[in-house]
Amino acid sequence: MRVRYRNANLWIGDESEPGMKSFDVIDGFIASADEVSVADHTLDLAGAFVMPAFRDGHCHPLFAGREHVGPDVTDAKSVAQIQQIIVDYAKTNPDVAWIDGAAYDRSIPAKFHRFELDDAIRDLPVVLHGADHHTLWVNTRALELCGLLETIPKLSVGSVDLDKDGVPTGILREWEAMQLVLSHIPSLSLDAELDCLDWAQRELLSTGVVEVQDAWIDPGMTEIYLESARQNRLRVRTNLAFRADPVTWESDFEYFTRMRDAVTTLNHPNLKSNAIKFFIDGVLGSSTASLLEPYVNGPHSHQHGEQVWPINELLRAASRANELGYQLHLHAIGDAAVRTALDVIERIRPTLQAVIAHTELVSDDDVARFKTLDVTANFEPLWAREDGQLLSCVPQVGRSRIDKMYRMRDLADAGARLSFGSDWPVSSPNALHGLATAVTRSLPGEAGWSLNQALTAREALQAYTRGVAAQMSNSERDGLLLDGAVAEFVVLSHNPLTCSKEALHDLKVLAVNLPSEPLLAF
C-alpha cells in the first residue's frame, strides 16, 4: 500500500532544517514522493510539523501498568491525602488482599512511619512505593505478614529502617530489602498482566513514543512480552534488559539466554532482548547512591553510599554478559558509581557500546571518558529541574554537588553520545515534557536551574530519536525519516526547532504513525 503525505513541514532528524515536503509510505517504509505513481491514499498535512517518532532509552512499561492497577498517590501533597486515597481504594476494591500503590513523594511533610498508614488501614497490608522506586513505605499488617516484626534477615544491599527500640519503622530501602515485602504480594494473572502492558503502550503512543528499553526484566516478565507479541498486542517496539542480581547472576544468565532464544525464535518485529542491566548503586534520595565524597547529612553521613556489586564479581558478571553478546546497561547515579561503571567498561572493552543510565553526578575527571570508551550517556531529562525531589537531596549531598548534576552540556561538548529516557513510572513518559526540561532546565514560568548544562532543542530531539536508536543498536536509518526507514513519525502542534523556549512547554502530539497503524490521532 502506498500512502502519500503532502504539505508536511518535515524534519528528517539530522542537521538539516525542516521544510515543506511530500513523502510516501510504502508498506510501512518511508519513500520519496513519486508523483508519477498513483497513491492508494493521499493525506494533506496542511503544513503541520512532522519529525521522527520519540524513543525511550530507559523505562519500565510493565511496572507502570502494574502500578496503574493500584491506588495512585503520586500527586498527594500530605499524609492526609495519601490516607484518604488508600481508604477510598479499599472501599472500591473490597476483594483486594493487598493494597499496592505508588508513588509517594518523600519531600512532603511526613514521618513516613508505619503508624501513619495504620491510621488509615490496619486490617489489610498496605505497600506504597516511593517516587524513586528504591524505597517502600508499609503498614504494620504488611510487616506482620512478612515476618519482619519477628526477625530481619541479613542483607547484602539495602536496609530496613529501625526505630530506637530496634523495631521496623515501615521504610525499606533498595531492592533486596524491598523484596522482603514485595515477594509476598500475590501475582497478577497473565490476562491481567497483558492488560497492564496494553495500557502502558497506549500511554506511550499517546506521547509519540514508539520504542522503549524496558530496563528491568526479572524472571516471569519476558513471558508476558512474548505472549503479548504472539497475540499481536505488542504495538511499541521493545528491547528487554534483563536484571543481573549480584547473588544469583550465574544461574540467572541461564534464564536470560533461554528467554533471548525464545525472543529470537518468535522473530516479532517489536520485540528483542539484547541487554543486561546492572545496578551499580542506589539513589540519592535514599542516600544509597555511591559518591566519591561522603554524604553531608542523613543515614549515611559518615559513608559514601552503597555499591551493589563487589567489584570483582561485577567484572566477572559483566565479562560473561559481553561474551554472551549482551549489551551492558549500567545504572549509575553517584559519581563514584559512574566511575566504577567506566572502569568496568574500560577493563572489558565490550563488543556492543555500553550504556550508563541516569549519570546524575559525573566527576570532571570522567567526562571525557564517555567518548573515549564509546559509552552512551542516558539521561532522564525531566529530572534536570529544581523541584521538590531535587531540593530534598540538598541536605544529604550539599548545594555544590546539586548544582553539578545532569551535566548534559558538558558531556555533549566532550563528544559523548546522549540518549534520553524517562525511567517511567519514576517520572512521566511524555517525551515533550522531557524535551522542554532539557532545553529550559525548568518548569513552566520558572527561571531555570544550572542553565549552563542546557541543550538546544535540536540536540534534545536527537537524543530522543537517533540517540536512543543508536543505543538500541538499531539500523542507522532508525530515528531518521530517510528513504527505506521504518515509517515511525509524529505530528506536533508546532515546530520545536523555531518556537520560543517557553512555547516548548506547550507542545502537543497530534498524531503518531506506526508501520501498521497510520496516523493515530490523540
Q: Do 49 and 76 sit in the same domain of this protein?
A: no
Please give the pLDDT value at position 156. 84
- Does any domain span residue 43? yes
Low-confidence ranges of the chain (pLDDT < 70): 298-302, 522
- Does any domain span residue 344? no
**C-alpha distances out from residue 341 to 59, 337, 359, 361, Å:** 20, 6, 10, 13
Contacts with 57 (C-beta within 8 Å, 6 or more apart), sequence order: 212, 213, 355, 357, 376, 378, 419, 420, 421, 467, 468, 471, 472
pTM score, two decimals?
0.95
Rounded-to-integer distance, Cα 164 and Cα 172, Å: 16
State which of 158, 182, 206 marks the end of a domain. Answer: 182
State which of 122, 150, 182 marks the end of a domain. Answer: 182
Please give the pLDDT value at position 201. 98
Q: Do 82 and 138 sit in the same domain of this protein?
A: yes
Q: Do 113 and 166 sit in the same domain of this protein?
A: yes
Q: Which helix (H) or strand (E) holds 409?
A: helix 408-413
- Does any domain span residue 305? no
pLDDT, tens digit (0-9, with 9 covering 90-100), for 215-265: 999 999 999 999 999 999 999 999 999 999 999 999 999 999 999 999 999
State which of 164, 182, 200 marks the end of a domain. Answer: 182
Neighbours of 265 (CB within 10 A): 9
For the chain, the domain total comes to: 2
CATH number at residue 37: 2.30.40.10
**In whole angstroms, how large is the CA radius of gyration of the chain?**
23
Q: Do 19 and 95 sit in the same domain of this protein?
A: no
Q: Do 143 and 83 sit in the same domain of this protein?
A: yes
Please give the pLDDT value at position 29. 96
Q: Do 65 and 173 sit in the same domain of this protein?
A: yes
Contacts with 400 (C-beta within 8 Å, 6 or more apart), sequence order: none
| C-alpha cell, 519 | 496516523
| C-alpha cell, 54 | 520519540
- Does any domain span residue 456? no
Q: What is the residue type of 201?
A: Q
Q: Do 44 and 18 sit in the same domain of this protein?
A: yes
The answer to whether the beta carbons of residues 55 and 211 sit under 8 Å apart is yes
Rounded-to-integer distance, Cα 7 and Cα 19, Å: 9
| C-alpha cell, 53 | 517518532
- Does any domain span residue 384? no
- Does any domain span residue 48? yes
Cα torsion 343, 346, 349, 352: sign: positive
Which domain covers residue 493, as residue numbers?
Answer: 1-53+479-522
Nearest to 70 by CA among 117, 126, 153: 126
Q: Do 2 and 91 sit in the same domain of this protein?
A: no
Burial of 262 (0-12, 13-18, 19+ CB in 10 A): middle
Please give the pLDDT value at position 157. 82
Please give the pLDDT value at position 302. 56
CATH number at residue 100: 3.10.310.70
- Does any domain span residue 458? no
Please give the pLDDT value at position 158. 86
